[in-house]
């Protein structure tokens, strides 16, 4: 016959599974890595199993703060390593086929989290990022955030406010209309395949930026290309041989592209930020460690 302790552990396990996809969404926004998000969620279960908060209340809020605390530790430990990263660092993309429904956990992670926004979040210090993500995205009150960052609730509020200002100053507001995104992305791919410089310029915003993450390998790293002319030249000089292998896909909830044959990890994933019918940013993830789990037919 199950003991009360066993019954309690079963209850906690069921509650944890009920909130798992939400917790992965929190961790992914904090870390920009699916693998690290999964690790953070697993660590949250270990802490719950060891330190039962007691009662029959909904554990969502408690677990959200625990995951935030774990992610904060990860961000602080990797900050120094990121300073020596060669070239651009981009988050691990979440990719699905056009028209295919995403699994619930991936859908919750990718919802409203474009690659370009994650790049901006990466520029915040760890405490600012935690305060913004937990409060502005998930509604955690500042009196719960403050102890996590060793600040008063008022100071935690200031962290979120500072983060919000930086995001508003840097982040773009992409077109939400998927058909428009697809039309623009397909026009870009067609121009790249044909090698038409003029056609590329026609779909690029004058201030477009192109970033590429090659995994921090110095000999392959390059600075971002800025401006439509520079981006178009970079695409034609380096990307034209790969253009025939590119096909549209959903990348972090927006229309993007994968480069490579079906059924195998892609050589690259392209995330596009389309603003006012033109491409304002292209983010190419070519770090194989971030693409190993992606396979589209």
Q: Which of 118-132, 171-185, 191-205, 224-238 has the lowest mean pLDDT?
A: 171-185
* pLDDT at site 206: 97
**pLDDT over 80 at 111, yes or no:** no
For residue 225, pLDDT beyond 70? yes
Evaluate whether 249 touches 257 at the Cβ level (below 8 Å).
yes
Please state the rounded mean pLDDT for residues 74-102. Answer: 81
Q: Average pLDDT, stretch 132-144? A: 95
Domains of the chain: 1-84 (1.10.1740), 178-291 (3.10.450.50)
- What is the pLDDT averaged over residues 130-148? 95
Confidence of residue 104 (pLDDT cuts 50, 70, 90): low
Give the pLDDT mean for 109-137: 87
Residue-wise DSSP of 210-252: EEEE-SS-TTT--PPEESHHHHHHHIIIIIGGGGGGEEEEEET
At residue 160, the pLDDT reads 97
Output the pLDDT for position 80: 67
Report the distance separating Cα 277 and Cα 76, nearest Å.
38
Alpha-carbon distance of 192 to 201, in angstroms, equals: 11
**Model confidence at 105: pLDDT above 80:** no
pLDDT at 85: 75
- To the nearest 10 degrees (0 to 180), the angle between helices 34-50 and 60-82 is 130
pLDDT at residue 1 in the model = 34
Average pLDDT, integer, range 160-176 = 86
pLDDT tens track for 31-54: 999 999 999 999 999 999 888 777
Query: What is the pLDDT confidence band of residue 95, given thresholds at 50, 70 and 90?
Result: very high
- What is the predicted pLDDT for the residue at 128? 97
CB 196 within 8 A of CB 243: no
Separation of alpha carbons 250 and 37, rounded Å? 20
More confident residue, 44 or 239: 44
Residue 27: predicted pLDDT:
96
């Amino acid at each position: 016959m199950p003991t009360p302790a066993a019954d309690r552990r079963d209850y906690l396990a069921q509650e944890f599974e009920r909130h798992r996809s939400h917790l992965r969404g929190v961790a992914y926004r904090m870390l920009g890595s699916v693998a690290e998000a999964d690790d953070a969620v697993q660590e949250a279960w270990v802490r719950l199993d060891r330190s039962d908060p007691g009662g029959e209340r909904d554990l969502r809020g408690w677990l959200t703060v625990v995951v935030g605390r774990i992610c904060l530790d990860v961000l602080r430990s990797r900050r120094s390593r990121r300073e020596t990263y060669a070239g651009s660092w981009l988050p691990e993309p979440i990719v699905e086929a056009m028209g295919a429904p995403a699994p619930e956990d991936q859908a919750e992670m990718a919802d409203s989290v474009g690659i370009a926004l994650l790049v901006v979040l990466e520029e915040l210090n760890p405490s600012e990022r935690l305060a913004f993500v937990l409060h502005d995205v998930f509604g955690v009150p500042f009196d719960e955030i403050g102890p996590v960052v060793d600040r008063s609730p008022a100071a935690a509020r200031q962290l979120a406010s500072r983060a919000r200002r930086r995001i508003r100053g840097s982040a773009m507001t992409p077109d939400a209309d998927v058909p428009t995104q697809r039309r623009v992305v397909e026009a870009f791919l067609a121009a790249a395949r044909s090698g038409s410089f003029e056609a590329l310029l026609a779909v690029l915003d004058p201030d477009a930026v192109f970033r590429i993450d090659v995994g921090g390998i110095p000999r392959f790293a390059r600075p971002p290309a800025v401006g439509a002319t520079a981006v178009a030249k970079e695409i034609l000089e380096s990307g034209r041989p790969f253009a025939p292998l590119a096909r549209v896909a959903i990348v972090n909830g927006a229309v993007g592209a994968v480069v490579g044959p079906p059924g195998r990890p892609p050589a690259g994933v392209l995330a596009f930020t389309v603003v006012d019918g033109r491409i304002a940013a292209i983010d190419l993830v070519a770090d194989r460690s971030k693409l190993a789990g992606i396979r589209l037919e």
